[in-house]
Each structure stands twice: as structure tokens, then as C-alpha cells.
A and B are shown apart, each in its own frame.
Chain A
Amino acid sequence: MSILVIAEHDNSSIKPATLNAVTAAIQIGGDVHVLVAGQGAAAAAQAAAQVTGVARVILAEGESLAHGLAENLAAQVLALAGDYSHILFPATASGKNTAPRVAARLDVAQISDITKVESADTFERPIYAGNAIATVQSADAKKVITVRTTAFDAAAATGGSAAVESIAAVADSGKSRFVGVDVTKSDRPELTAAKIIVSGGRALGSSEKFNEVLTPLADKLGAALGASRAAVDAGYAPNDWQVGQTGKIVAPQLYIAAGISGAIQHLAGMKDSKVIVAINKDPEAPIFSVAD
């Protein structure tokens, strides 16, 4: 039984989310192979080969895979799928985009956002914004899974010595084209991987206030900045800072929620944090029910 993990990478290195997915793969048991698909991604493949627990790295390079378009990436995974019992994606924007395409083509149900491996066919996953945990069993021959990265420790990025094997990239589907990307510039730690997160809500009142109050605190703590949906919708913070059911799911050592009431949808994204600190004028705010 072999397991294929689809790596998320920026061509030169693999992203931490991949390491969490590798840990989930190791828990399922079997040879763990990693697919690095992209263009000019040889360095990322080398990095994947160093990860403890990885038996083999498959490098697929070609123009069709340059921007991670779901149509092409799914076709690439399907070309390899025959050899694997489990196909794992980190539950990132890219993984969520591509995994269901693979599952549907294989005619199997996908298991989203697993938080625990019970056995090779049984997994735990949160439903209803994390208010219930479902234990699900798949009877399908192949399991296509996305892994909630905060629920699994990262595999060690060094200590492995897997062989890297190059394969030809699939042809371009021709139906979708990459136009451009607008990446939010940030010197801070990545939100989903940060040890400390300082998060602000609507109560901060304006984008200036948001930066004025939270930025120095985050700088002092070496923390990432997050936001509630209300703060994002009001334009105080960019979209990709949103923490919650529909934004990022985080589980840092310390989460500081400033001016956030604590709606169900926000709690879904941060209630697995080790220590939660709430700063709020309203003593009845639901955030206090989860704060330490």
C-alpha cells in the first residue's frame, strides 16, 4: 500500500502544510510518496526528498503545471493514481481546489479536512463549523483526503533521503488560463504556521486603528496578524487574514482576540489554539466562553 501526498511549494521550497500532510500519511501507514508538480520546481523536489518518512519524490515539470491550475494538476494526479491506495492533499486553497476533481474522476467520495486518522479507512473530521466531530468510514477502493494541517504535527524537514524521479507533465487542458496574482506582501510569519497570532475585529473601528493598535503588539511578539470577517468586510484587513470557518483555520500557542465578539464561524477557525486571550469591552461576548 502506497500513499501519495501532493506537495504545496513555491518552486524553491515546500510549504509547511505539506509536512503536516506527510505526518497524516505516515499515520495511515505505507510507503509515502510526494508529488511535486510545477515548473522549475527541482529545488522543491530536493527539499521534499529530505523530509523524514518520505520514500520517493515524483517531480512533474511543465508549463501546464506552472500555476497549479486545478484542471491540469488533477489530470497529473490522476495519471499517477493507479499505484496508490490513498491520495492526500493539505487542506489549503490549492488542495481544496484540486482534490474533489481527482475524487470525482476516480468515482470515490472525498474526505475533507481530516483531523485524526483512526485507521486506513476511518477518519475524524469536524462538521457544522467545528461544533461536532464526525467519524467517517470510506468503503471506496481509493481514499482521496484533504488534511487539516493544524491537526497534525509537521514531519521533520530533514533527515530523509528519498530518491527524486522525474516524469513528464500532462498536456494543458486549454480550458483555463492563469491571468495574474496579487499576493499580499508580509514580513510576518505565515498565519497558519504562526506560534502567536494577534487578531482584530470590527471594534477597532478603522483600518488605521487596526494597524496602529495591533501592528506594534504583533511586532513585539513576533506574531502573525489575523482578523475576523467583520474586520475584513469593513476593509480593515486583507481577505487572507480572515480566521474562521470560511477563512484560515489556525491553532497557535497563543491567540489574542482583540475586539472580536466570537461568532460561531470565527471560533471554528481558532478554538484549537493552546491559549486564547480575549480583550473585549463586552463581558457577555461569546469569545469569553473559549478564552483562557
Chain B
Amino acid sequence: KRVVDYNVKVRVKSDGSGVDIANVKMSMNPFDEIAVEEAVRLKEKGVVTEIVAFSAGDAKAQETLRTALAIGADRAILVETAEELQPLAVAKLLKALLDKEQPQLVILGKQAIDDDANQTGQMLAALADLPQATFASKLEIADGKAQVTREIDGGLETLSIDLPAIVTTDLRLNEPRYVTLPNIMKAKKKPLEVFKPEDLGVDAKPRLKTLKVSEPPKRGAGVKVPDVATLVDKLKNEAKVL
């Protein structure tokens, strides 16, 4: 997914209609980079034969797909639409492509850092009636199964799921590689197909209506204390939290 770069601090538009993303730096969602990297590593190990990168959104999402191709994906598919895409719509688009392409494994990021939804992978698994392993920090493929270690609230959990399957990546799955200039050049020649949601028979209209977007409440300015004694005193007597 093409999202506002993770280093950018977004500003809410004064009319409350959304956040101002005109002229801000965009990049590939960090969790998706991890997903592409994992696919490429599986290919390098000889487990995977072909990697197809997918994105949905406006025409600029092509840049994001070119990045995926430069990391090592073989070809790319863009579903182009000007409409706002919500997770359920993206999951439906992916389901339609799954039916066409019949991949054995779909890797997604665990969440996009713009809408923070954390839904698409699970929704795709549900629509395709496939098993899922979310928040993966380790992935091994053998004998038609994926053994996945997942990050859960108290620690780590390991599952074994039948392929085909859906996996979503957590931060610690891998360290994505940097793309090199020669690979960026080569990526320009790799195939990139473009569809419309209608081509796939998917109604991609948003289901949730955003009524307004507002600034989070601001915190009052803080004070700096010169020493530990003052800090403890303030915590005890002013803030009363100790």
C-alpha cells in the first residue's frame, strides 16, 4: 500500500474533512516492505517460483509497485480506482485476483500505518476460506504447510497452517533490503498489469462514512526539573501519582 511516509507528522485539515496529504512524501507501507522482502527470501531459498506484487489505489500506486519489483517481485498488478478503498473492498479485490492467479501463499503487512485498521489479511482469509497466520515473526514453508511464529500479547505462539494460506507480517519478521539503482532500472522493464474494480466484478465503494477528522487533544506544556528530588516531590505532591 502506498501511504504517507512513516516519518511524516500529518496535519489535520482545518475543515475537518481529513488529513492533508497533498505534497507530503509517500512510500510503501513499512509492513508491506517486510512482506515483499519475505517473499523474495522465500524465492531465494527456492521455495517460491514467482512473486506477484499487488496494490490498489490511484495511478501513483504504480511507484509503490515498482519499488516492490525492484526489491525482487517478478510482476505486478494494480487495481486502479480514484475511490477511497477500505479494507473490505481491498480484501474483495484480492479475493478476485486469488481466484484468477491461484497463489499458494499471500503475504500482507499486519496493518497500514495510515488507517491503522489491521483487517485486510484476515478479511481476505475469511472471504477465500483459507487459514491465516497474523503478526508473523517467523515463517517456514515445508510439505504443503506453513509453520508460523506469531507475536501475541504474552509472548510468541506457533501455528502450523495448510497451504494455500494468508500470512500477515509483524515488524520482526525480517529487515527489508535497500533497493539498488540497477534493480530500480530493471524493475522498469518488469510487467505491470492494470485492472479496474469493475473488471474484477468487485463493488469497491466505502462502507464506513468518515464524518469528520479532528486533532487529538493537546497536552499542556510540561516542566523540566533540575534534579531527582524535585521530580519525586512533584510526582508525589502535585501529580499525586506515587
Residues of A within 8 A of B (CB): 69-71, 74, 92-94, 96-105, 107-113, 122, 126-140, 173-184, 192, 196, 221, 229, 232-233, 238-240, 245-246, 248, 253-254, 264-265, 271, 274-277, 288, 290-292
Per the 8 Å Cβ criterion, residues 198-222 of B in contact with A are: 206-216, 219-220, 222
Q: Are B134 and A112 in contact (CB under 8 A)?
A: no
* Most chain B Cβ neighbours within 10 Å, of A70, A128, A129, A130: A128
Task: Report the bound CA distance from A253 to B236 in whole Å.
Answer: 12
The proximity string for B residues 114-149 relative to A, scoring 1 for CB distances below 8 Å and 0 otherwise, is: 111111111111110011111101000000000100
Given A136-B211, A277-B235: A92 touches B88 (CB 8 Å cut-off): no
Residues of B within 8 A of A (CB): 4, 6-7, 9-10, 12, 19, 86-88, 91, 110-111, 113-127, 130-135, 137, 147, 150-162, 165, 170-172, 206-216, 219-220, 222-224, 231, 235, 239, 241-242
Report whether over half of chain A's contact residues are helix, strand or loop; otherwise say mixed: mixed
Given A128-B19, A139-B209: A103 touches B9 (CB 8 Å cut-off): no
Q: Are B114 and A246 in contact (CB under 8 A)?
A: no
With beta carbons under 8 angstroms apart, the residue of B9, B153, B241 that contacts A131 is B9
Chain B: which residue is nearest A181 at the CB level? B157
Chain B: which residue is nearest A233 at the CB level? B172
With beta carbons under 8 angstroms apart, the residue of A100, A127, A240 that contacts B123 is A100
CB distance from A98 to the nearest CB of B (A): 8
Residues of A within 8 A of B165 (CB): 175
Q: Are B155 and A183 in contact (CB under 8 A)?
A: yes
Task: Report the bound CA distance from A138 to B87 in whole Å.
Answer: 14
Q: Are A103 and B131 in contact (CB under 8 A)?
A: no
Residues of B within 8 A of A92 (CB): 153
Q: Are A96 and B118 in contact (CB under 8 A)?
A: yes
Offer 27 A-B interface pairs, CB within 8 angstroms, sorted by A.
A70-B125, A93-B153, A96-B134, A99-B119, A100-B126, A101-B125, A101-B132, A105-B126, A112-B116, A112-B119, A128-B4, A132-B214, A134-B213, A137-B210, A174-B162, A183-B154, A183-B155, A192-B153, A233-B171, A238-B155, A240-B151, A245-B113, A254-B241, A264-B6, A265-B6, A274-B239, A277-B235
